[in-house]
Amino acid sequence: MTDNHWWRGAVMYQIYPRSFADTNGDGIGDLKGVTSKLDHVRSLGVDGLWLSPFFKSPMRDFGYDVSDYCDVDPMFGSLADVDALLKGAHARELKVIIDQVWSHTSSDHAWFQESRQNRTNAKADWYVWADPKPDGSPPNNWQAWFGGPAWTWEPRRRQYYQHNFLPTQPDLNFRSPDVQAAILEVARFWMDRGVDGFRLDVANYYVHDAMLRDNPPSGDPAPALPRNMQLHTYNSNQPETLAFIAKLREVVDGRGAKMMVGELAPGSYALMHDYTRTQKRLHTAYAFDFLGAWPGVERMAEILQQWREGADDGWPSWAVSNHDVARVATRWGEGIGAAAPRAAPLFMSLLLALRGTIFMYQGEELGLPDADVPFEKLQDPWGIAGWPATKGRDGCRTPMPWKDEVMAGFTKAKEAWLPIDPRQRVLAVDKQEKLTESMLHTTRHLIALRKASKALGEGAFEIVEAANGRFVFDRVWQSQRIRCLFNFTSATTTMPLSGKPEILWSPEAILSGGNLVMEPFSAAWLRLA
């Protein structure tokens, strides 16, 4: 717990508090619910947890629209509940990092309420304000992530304000030294309270282009939303963002064994490099390379082998599911033609074999498929606006199934904030605990193997094969070599081997005459002699 580099190679468990466990019977998860389930988190063998936002918010985007960075929304509990959660986690040797949504605030935030009044108040420049074009239209062509222009008119100032997301999520102006100072104070507040680090929401969107230049077209032939019609060249990824992150890194490193992981949206491995190389940027970052459709083994290999392994070359993080995308057992499972029961252990073994810090989303340890949420039950504004082209994010946000019963052991209320999918309920924790072989036990075993191996936790990464649905790579630490083999096809395949390999983990692979015979949609970890 005192190692400043504890996060390198760590396995972190993402908790979406709203859907984890409800203790007060209102159908919505809360912080006491998280604390009540820490033994489950600890039993997985993970190193810590990432908590999605629990701050005061009008919940128009379910907590990613913060109205007070230093207080807890009553829906989730109180600051005392945060303290109890931190104490309980640390007693179990679990680190805790929390979401920080600093790109934008809620329009209900006191800072914005003051800023919008006129052009001369003390916070007049705390948000991105711009005059209209001579014809009254917005200052440029920037498009918001949830659809429509990234600008909304404010009659009191007779100006537009920028919002990369909902109109109720105005963007902070990080070109203002006062804004930077205020955000650094927020960071100090939570670190002084005992959190071990931050997950920084859309960290590459902090600074906007000072000249407000138009974004160029993307050339996307079939855009789902107007934002896909342009490259977000000027409303994201500005060099001044890295200058602020350097200031933030200095503050975080000054508090000891803390860390920052940045979400780079949509991002790429090149952007991950930029935001993590040297010791003055983010400790680690993840992008959306593995959070979209099945990439194929060739593309996957291309992404993974781009990471240089020097001390100043940065450190990657990897996730294949989170609260913003369909669950991987469904999303990638459909991509390779594998049903969830086959797909879930295959993708989990891939994730836990990668070089980097691993982020596992709640329910992945159970192999949950994405939930089917009917339109009339949707809560996500993105899903409601985009239906039926997109169903939004509710399918991955449904309540965690603890028990195979009507409300899945999540709540005592008659209804949860999102419906319980029966396909998830039958995969509940209580049922899987009783099975000798289950996805839950498989996850625990894989994490234990990773933590026991320097090669898997910290070792180098070497591609052996990536073609025709077969993916093979080695993890190497000094004289240790672990070979990780994956068959993403619907046919049995034979992998040639040399030496005297030993099966470290595989449910069904067989060593035969110098070959490894692998069933369809299966994986194996081998120790090479």
Mean pLDDT score, 146-173: 96
pLDDT tens by residue, 435-463:
989 999 999 999 999 999 999 999 999 99
* d(C-alpha 506, C-alpha 529), whole Å: 17
Task: Please report, for residues 235, 256, 417, 426, the alpha-carbon distance to residue 420 in angstroms, rounded to integers and kept in the order given.
Answer: 38, 41, 9, 11
pLDDT at 1 (0 to 100): 37
**How many Cα atoms occupy the beta-carbon half-sphere of 26 within 13 Å?**
11
pLDDT band (50, 70, 90) for residue 2: very low
* d(C-alpha 198, C-alpha 186), whole Å: 11
What CATH architecture is 460-527?
A: Sandwich (2.60)
pLDDT at 491 (0 to 100): 98
Annotated catalytic residue within 171, 201, 274, 289: 201
Do the beta carbons of residue 205 and residue 102 sit within 8 Å? no
Mean pLDDT score, 276-295: 93
In the chain, what percentage of residues exceed pLDDT 90? 89
Could you write out the DSSP letters of every residue in 35-99? HHTHHHHHHTT-SEEEEPP-EE---TTTTSS-SEEEEE-TTT--HHHHHHHHHHHHHTT-EEEEE
**Average predicted confidence (pLDDT) for the chain:** 96
89: burial class by Cβ within 10 Å (0-12, 13-18, 19+)? buried
Element (H, E) at 515: strand 515-518
Q: Which two tokens stand for residue 6?
A: 């504890």
Mean pLDDT score, 473-489: 97
Q: Which two tokens stand for residue 271?
A: 């952007």
pLDDT at 332 (0 to 100): 98
Residue 177 φ then ψ, to 5° = -60, -30
Give me the residues paired with residue 162 across strands.
151
Residue 18 φ then ψ, to 5° = -60, -25
pLDDT tens by residue, 15-62:
999 999 999 999 999 999 999 999 999 999 999 999 999 999 999 999
DSSP reduced 3-state for 309: coil
List the one residue out of 498, 503, 466, 467 whose CA is nearest residue 482.
503
Which is more confidently placed, 349 or 223?
349
Annotation marks residue 263 as catalytic: yes
DSSP reduced 3-state for 504: strand
Mean pLDDT score, 506-521: 94
pLDDT tens by residue, 407-442:
999 999 999 999 999 999 999 999 999 998 999 999
pLDDT at 201 exceeding the cut of 60: yes
Do 11-106+178-447 and 460-527 share a fold?
no
List the one residue out of 56, 49, 54, 64 whose CA is nearest residue 15.
49
* d(C-alpha 439, C-alpha 450), whole Å: 16
CATH code that applies to domain 11-106+178-447: 3.20.20.80
DSSP-derived letter for residue 344 is H
The number of helix segments (H) and strand segments (E) in the chain equals: 15, 21
The domain locations on the chain are 11-106+178-447, 460-527
pLDDT band (50, 70, 90) for residue 223: confident
pLDDT at 308 (0 to 100): 82
* d(C-alpha 170, C-alpha 416), whole Å: 30
Annotation marks residue 201 as catalytic: yes
DSSP reduced 3-state for 359: strand
Do the beta carbons of residue 97 and residue 200 sit within 8 Å? no
Q: Which two tokens stand for residue 97?
A: 């990092």
Could you write out the DSSP letters of every residue in 236-303? S--HHHHHHHHHHHHHHHTTSS-EEEEE-SS--HHHHHHHHSSTTS-SEEE-STTSSS---HHHHHHH
* d(C-alpha 521, C-alpha 345), whole Å: 9
Which is more confidently placed, 57 or 269?
57
Annotated catalytic residue within 99, 196, 263, 365: 263
Q: Which two tokens stand for residue 200?
A: 């920084």
Do the beta carbons of residue 214 and residue 234 sit within 8 Å? yes
DSSP-derived letter for residue 476 is E
pLDDT at 152 (0 to 100): 98
List the one residue out of 360, 318, 369, 476 whose CA is nearest residue 40.
360
Mean pLDDT score, 96-100: 98
196: burial class by Cβ within 10 Å (0-12, 13-18, 19+)? buried
pLDDT at 140 exceeding the cut of 70: yes
DSSP-derived letter for residue 315 is -
pLDDT at 168 exceeding the cut of 60: yes
Q: What is the signed CA dihedral for 316, 322, 324, 326, rounded to 10 degrees?
A: 120
2: burial class by Cβ within 10 Å (0-12, 13-18, 19+)? exposed
DSSP reduced 3-state for 386: helix
pLDDT at 229 (0 to 100): 95
* d(C-alpha 122, C-alpha 111), whole Å: 10
Q: Which two tokens stand for residue 254?
A: 């000054």
Crossing angle of helices 269-276 and 239-253, rounded to 10° = 50
277: burial class by Cβ within 10 Å (0-12, 13-18, 19+)? middle
pLDDT at 312 (0 to 100): 80
**Bond from prior residue into 74 cis (ω within 30 degrees of 0):** no
pLDDT at 299 exceeding the cut of 90: yes
Do the beta carbons of residue 392 and residue 465 sit within 8 Å? no
